[in-house]
Structure 1
Amino acid sequence: MQKGLVKLEQQVAMLAEKAVEFDKAKWFEKNRFIQNKHGLFDSPLFASKSLLLQDYVDEIALSLKHLPATSQRHAFAFAIEKIGMQVESVVKVLQATPVWAKENRSSPKAKAQVYRKAVAKIMQSSHELYQELSQNHEFERRLQAMITERQSQLDSANSDTARQQLHAEILALHARLGRCRKAISATEDKIVALEKQSR
């Protein structure tokens, strides 16, 4: 996981270099539409409102620096997903400028397609897996809550029929919980494999 994050930080550092070139060229200095918006992005993805691309890349870098702990799975997955969308937004702006075209001519390895593939390898696949992991953990939480609820009902049940029915429901929920936890383990294994591939 740590090596994957280091890779991501390196990609953001590369974006920062391109953003400096972008800002030096002052692409939007005479664009009244952009100036009236007071920012490069309509998207609510960024808190920054600036005509300097570097400000947006700095915001991404800051988010990376202050990621939630991996133990906070939902918050961590949400933060990673948002960073991925922010990176894609910045890349789209760069792709529309000669900064990107110039680099592609001077270095074949830096073609947009290659860069996007690198971003996708680090970001998009992991997003899907983290979303899957987050959904599975939410399902696990709900099943545990349902088991607790049925157990409470069982403790206060007045008839054998009700108790038998609740026992059956609890057993079925435990079976579903077991399958859910297997799915969580499988997803975590996929994340580990993806991180190894990105080294």
Structure 2
Amino acid sequence: MNNSDVIRRLRQQLQQLEQEVLQHDSRLPASQKKLMQDTERFNEQLFYQSGAQLGPCIMQISNSIAHLEKMLKGNISNGTIMLACEQIQDRFTAVKRALSTTDIDVKAAQQTKASRIAKAKKRRQQSHSDSGFDWIAAGVMHNSHQLYDELKKHHNWVLKFEQKIESLQSQLESCHSADKIALQNEILLVHRRLGKCRKAISYIEDRIQAFERPYKSYNR
């Protein structure tokens, strides 16, 4: 395959992907666009892009193909050209994966927003007053250490679930089409578990606050 054929095939591949992206972006509700406007969906080495819409990625891939075409006309080593081709293919793969995971990413953004609102509400409700009784504070910490241990354990689970979701999403790149639905369902299941774990964290934090409230009230 000569250089012209390489560029021609890449542009054909890009044209097909662009049509898929245009359809994807046109179906996005305004609420989802607003919800994910600051969400980074790609590694910064692949794209400079944020938000649910994938249109900006097409232009960046097009620029990469144009740059490759200039490289092919110059005195550039085969290794450098191969690397550039691999990077372009990585970008194609990343956009394909993003097309299939938008619903999952939206659900994750909704959970993150709900968690942020809940935490902000909780902060407004909490009373911050210094007791001045160090011995009472020490007693509270001593008796409630199990609650804090449980809180730490759930935070660790959140991290593991987030890492699991990232790993599963990366598997979609090489996943056979027949297995894709099952893999996406698994990702949704882990998202549900992540949501339950975050709710458990909020519950534990409420229990800690309720446990300590009598001591704070005593000092007011």
Q: TM-score, normalised by structure 1?
A: 0.42
Higher relative contact order (CA 8 A, sep 6+): 1
Q: TM-score, normalised by structure 2?
A: 0.38
